[in-house]
Amino acid sequence: MKKKIKLIVILGPTGSGKTDLAIFLCRKFNGEIISADSRQIYKEMNIGTAKTIPEDIPIYLINLISPDKKFTVAQYKKLANKKIKEIARKGKIPFLVGGTGLYIEAVCEGLEIPKIPPQEELRKKLEKKDLKELVKELLKLDPEAKNYVDLKNKRRVIRALEVCKISKKPFTFQLRKKKPSYEILKIGIKIDRKKLYKKLEKRVDKMIKKGLKKEVEYLVKKYGWEAPGLDSIGYKEFKLFKDLEKVAREIKKNTKNYAKRQITWFKRDKEIFWIRNKKEAEKLVKKFLEI
């Protein structure tokens, strides 16, 4: 009987130290990283997405597409599964690392996304409505969507509405699960909320100092504000405010709210082992790989 691939998932809210922990564990256990971050897939978006690229550990599925291109969960799932198998064939351990809950669920639970092509005319109509209106409409058609769709992300809400309207069925009703043939260990980073918020505030200040404003100006000039990638925390705030202090405050507020939503999302998953330090994580991985 063919042995199952062992997959280790490192997850948690933004700024909790997932990549740092994953690099540490990869060095200890001969691993390679597959990113599960829906913003780091974009090229040229480096400062605002807090990309870390170590010299000795490969990180896959970052810098895949330009900010003006659309990228779906289904595309991500296909590429991630391919990379997991490639890493395992080399005799290394695949680590799936990130905070995008839907990406992680798509891979670990074998989530099948409805195959409804983009409806450009419908999207244009929906784009004209504000987010509050769109969320109300979606939850009326599909109350369960609150558990699967990021209701603060206009693009994701529009996509779910599009599926509901074209298929005449709720979006979540069409999400099917086909468990992949992996043995999975999920490790979540537990961090005190106040400590996390302080870390996030410092990180935003660091991004501003590193030249985030210049990065945004360059990307807007090259791709325009309509680029899907620029509808992200750390970028879209520059569209609202000219004053850098106001921009920084808004990024901090939005980042904290995003972290809160991530924590809520991951709390649903009872398979996650929550750890507070590297030692605890190392112990879990060692035991998992020995079995």
Where in the chain are the domains? 114-174, 193-260
The CATH number for 193-260, chosen from 1.10.10, 1.10.287, 3.40.50, 1.10.155, is 1.10.287
How far apart CA 104 and CA 108 sit, in angstroms, is: 6
Q: Do domains 114-174 and 193-260 have the same CATH topology?
A: no
CATH class of 114-174: mainly alpha
The count of other CB atoms within 10 Å of the CB of residue 118 is 12
Mean pLDDT estimate for the chain = 92
| Burial environment of residue 140 by CB neighbours within 10 A (0 to 12, 13 to 18, 19 or more) | exposed
pLDDT of residue 291: 61
Per residue in 228-252, pLDDT tens?
999 999 999 999 888 999 999 999 9
* pTM, full prediction: 0.86
pLDDT of residue 227: 94
pLDDT of residue 70: 86
Q: How many residues does the chain have?
A: 291
